[in-house]
Amino acid sequence: MNTSASLARDFAWYARHIALGELYQSYAHCLDSGDLTAWPGFFTDDGIYRAQGRENYDRGLPLAAIACEGQGMLLDRVNVILNVMVYAPRYIQHVVAQPQVVSENGSELLARASFSVFHTLPHEPTALLSVGRYEDTLAVMADGTWKFKQRLAIYDTLLIPGSLVYPL
């Protein structure tokens, strides 16, 4: 009895571990594919996304390079990137570590993962765009999947090489 209960707990833990890993990789692939239209769907309706320099985060200064609150602003960011802004075409590629659950509280999780993002511009060798970590609050949906209630991409690479076109 005890054994089966603990097996069930282990199974649930592994299942979540895998599901979160899948989610983080899907998020990265969405951005790296260049088709960002699915990006807002990773967030809850009132989801918050910020790409913020570590110096601001550490000092409690609120400015972020990108700050979206809610689906509307997330959709606007996608629309402006895909249809409005002028920039050199580029590839980006995320390398995202397996997320670590920091704490859990009912239907919410706090998790973090480090990221590296490379970019490749026309006529240029590939270079490092950004390294940092995600500090996330995830909420479980009715169907058991997870969405970001808040995703903070806190970047160490304070001096952004050129432009930050795509979200981290």
Contact positions vs another protein (CB under 8 A): 51-53, 55-56, 59, 61-73, 75-77, 79-80, 83-88, 158-165
- State which residue, 20 or 154, has the beta carbon closest to another protein: 154
For residue 118, list its beta bridge partners: 93, 128
Closest CA to 155 of 94, 104, 108: 94
- State which residue, 114 or 163, has the beta carbon closest to another protein: 163
- State which residue, 4 or 59, has the beta carbon closest to another protein: 59
Taking the complex as a whole, the smallest distance from the CB of residue 17 to another protein amounts, in Å, to 32
43 contacts 151 by C-beta, under 8 angstroms: yes
Taking the complex as a whole, the smallest distance from the CB of residue 156 to another protein amounts, in Å, to 12
- State which residue, 19 or 81, has the beta carbon closest to another protein: 81
153 contacts 132 by C-beta, under 8 angstroms: yes
Angle at 43 between CA 132 and CA 143, to 5 degrees: 125
- State which residue, 41 or 72, has the beta carbon closest to another protein: 72
Taking the complex as a whole, the smallest distance from the CB of residue 67 to another protein amounts, in Å, to 6
Taking the complex as a whole, the smallest distance from the CB of residue 65 to another protein amounts, in Å, to 4
- Rounded to whole angstroms, the Cα distance separating 141 from 75 reads 20
Taking the complex as a whole, the smallest distance from the CB of residue 16 to another protein amounts, in Å, to 32
Strands (E), 24-90: 43-53, 66-69
Q: Where do we find the tokens 């599901």?
A: 19
